[in-house]
Amino acid sequence: MAEDEKQEQPQEGKGKKKKLLILVLIFLVLAAGGGAAYKFLVLDKKKAVSNEKQAEKIIEEIKATEKVGVMFDLGTFVVNLADPDIERYLKVSIVLELKDQKVQAEAQKRLPEIKDAITTLLLTKRSSEIRTPEGIEFLKEEIAKRVNAILPLGGVKNVYFTEFIIQTG
């Protein structure tokens, strides 16, 4: 009988160790599952709310820039370019996008000044400067700056060329 008790004690000790090991493993699995659930349910929700707020800000900015201003047709300009080697002419039709009706009324009052400033600017250009897309964009920026300098409130949002022809004479 004493031998039977000795054999039962190590088996009971092994059984307790197995139960303890199983309990520890179950605890670790539950803890990992809880941590993962917290991350995916709570932290990701916070990120989603943050991302949603950023998306709303971007949408508001896009809507603000989507508002088309008042279109103001300046007409067609025909000028000699400043090329020294050959006579070249530029024919360009320009439309300004203005902020609002107030700016349009002011531009209408100052139309001769605006046309003079643009004509003077165009006369200084060489064909090589305005043949590239970059040159055309730079010319648009210069026109916008000059017109905004004339208008007391500024207000030119964009410059559009509806016709752009360089001709040799």
Q: Are residues 96 and 20 in the same domain?
A: no
Q: Are residues 79 and 56 in the same domain?
A: no
Q: Which residue has the higher pLDDT, 131 or 35?
A: 131
Residue 35: give the domain boundaries.
Answer: 1-67
Q: Are residues 63 and 141 in the same domain?
A: no
Q: What is the DSSP letter of 152?
A: T
Q: Are residues 20 and 103 in the same domain?
A: no
Q: Among 83, 85, 87, 94, which residue's Cα sits nearest to residue 117?
A: 94
pLDDT digits (tens, 9 = 90+) for 139-169: 999 999 999 999 988 899 999 999 999 987 6
Q: Which of 27, 51, 67 is the last residue of a domain?
A: 67
Q: Which of 11, 38, 67 is the last residue of a domain?
A: 67
Task: Work out the end-to-end distance of the chain between its first and last CA atoms, rounded to an integer number of angstroms.
Answer: 125
Q: Are residues 77 and 140 in the same domain?
A: yes
User: 56-65, 75-84, 99-108, 115-124 — which is least confidently predicted?
Assistant: 56-65
Q: Are residues 75 and 38 in the same domain?
A: no
pLDDT on residue 47: 66
Q: Are residues 56 and 94 in the same domain?
A: no
Q: Which of 67, 93, 121 is the last residue of a domain?
A: 67
Is pLDDT of 42 > 80?
no
Q: Which residue has the higher pLDDT, 48 or 69?
A: 69
Here the tokens at position 18 are 């197995």
Q: Are residues 137 and 82 in the same domain?
A: yes
Sheet holding 156-168, edge to edge: 70-80, 88-98, 156-168
Read off the pLDDT of each residue in 62-80 and give the average, rounded to a whole number: 85
pLDDT on residue 24: 82
Domains in the chain, number = 2
Q: Are residues 1 and 63 in the same domain?
A: yes
pLDDT on residue 163: 96
User: 39-53, 57-71, 91-105, 146-160 — which is least confidently predicted?
Assistant: 39-53
pLDDT digits (tens, 9 = 90+) for 88-117: 999 999 999 999 999 999 999 999 999 999
Q: Are residues 59 and 81 in the same domain?
A: no
